[in-house]
Amino acid sequence: MQLPSPVAPAAEGSGAATPAGASSPEGAAAPKPESARRAVSARVLATRLDVVLVALAGLVATVLGRGVAQALPGSSTGIGSLIASVDQLAAFSTQFMAVMGVSTCVRSLLSTMHCPSRTYRWSAVLVCAAALPVIISASSRALPPPWLISLVGLSAALGVAAARPALQAPHSRAAGLMLLAVTLGSLVSGFGRVLALYASHEVEARLFSVARGIATLGLVVDALGVGLAVIWLGRRSRTGLSLAALLASVAGAVVWFGAHGGELASLQGLGGFVSRTLDSLTAHPDPFVAAGFRYFVELFALLIAAVTLWFRNPPGVGETLSFALLARVSGDVPSCALMLMLAAFCAVRASLQPVRPHETAVSPGRRASLEVVPVTR
């Protein structure tokens, strides 16, 4: 639904200076109250700038808060001031992302309430009302495990409800597939972490092995979601696969340095720091997979998320993939649950965007996208 520009009432009101005897083809009249209300409401809807700011803050908070800040202590001596500065920057980025993300969630909810799916509308309102207070509380203090487990269910419910309208629109189908993959991975990995926590308390070795098996399944789903993002990126432009290959090379080089950098005497401390950072970024319990593959998937996903954010066509799909890659299989982490909710809202907004026929044509030298819409639509 196209919302009128906020300046429309002022443009219409300029007709009051027309002489009384002059005839106007438009019939100069005062703006209707309904149009004025709709124009004002357009100012509270989330814009692309809001979404980009939250995604960038989420990327910085993930790298600093979950990775660098956790691995920096013990890396070297005499870096106490650096550790304090990184901790403060990580705390600020996390708080900024939480405040900005909650605000963007509410504004995105308002902009998608005209979605035809009644299931989505009810789910979006209930999930926002229940999950956002938990996320706000978690940004300032540690919450007990039951509250974090509830975030997994709430964010997954919104993801499933939002995937249906996204899959029904051809131009947002990639966003719907990605949302389903991330939601499934969040549920599987969340169940594995709950089972591992119970097994640790009860000292059940066999049960902990089952939890590691479930974590392995979650990693497979996670890798599938990253693969979907790579396929979408490769089909968006001719250089997409080349860019993905370059990012994969960078991720592989960093993982190799983290594994073998400690063998070099001059870089021993830096290699250990990179290895601890990658270990802090990955979810636990450890699956039955080599640690290098887990680290590669984690780092490669962050790099792909940083790239897909800047793709503007089709509208909303790139933002959905970026938020989904930032959330992935860690729905019990409040910031990741918030990213999954934002991915769901962006997917629905993408499905509601009108697509012009000329946007579906494939230009020479480019591959057909996953979201080709018939010209006769």
- Domain residues of the chain, as ranges? 47-360
Look up residue 163 and give its two tokens: 């995937």
Write the DSSP string, 313-362: SSTTHHHHHHHHHHHTT-TTSHHHHHHHHHHHHHHHHHHHS---GGGGSP
Token look-up 């996208």 returns: 369
Q: What token pair was written down for 79?
A: 């870096």
pLDDT, one tens digit per residue, over 307-358 is 998 888 888 899 999 999 998 877 788 888 999 999 999 999 999 887 655 4
Q: How far apart are alpha carbons 149 and 145 in whole angstroms?
A: 6
Q: Which of 133-147, 179-193, 326-340, 345-359 is the least confident region?
A: 345-359
- The residue with greater pLDDT, 137 or 356, is 137
Q: What is the pLDDT of residues 157-169, one digit of tens each?
A: 999 999 999 999 8
Greater confidence, 249 or 265? 249
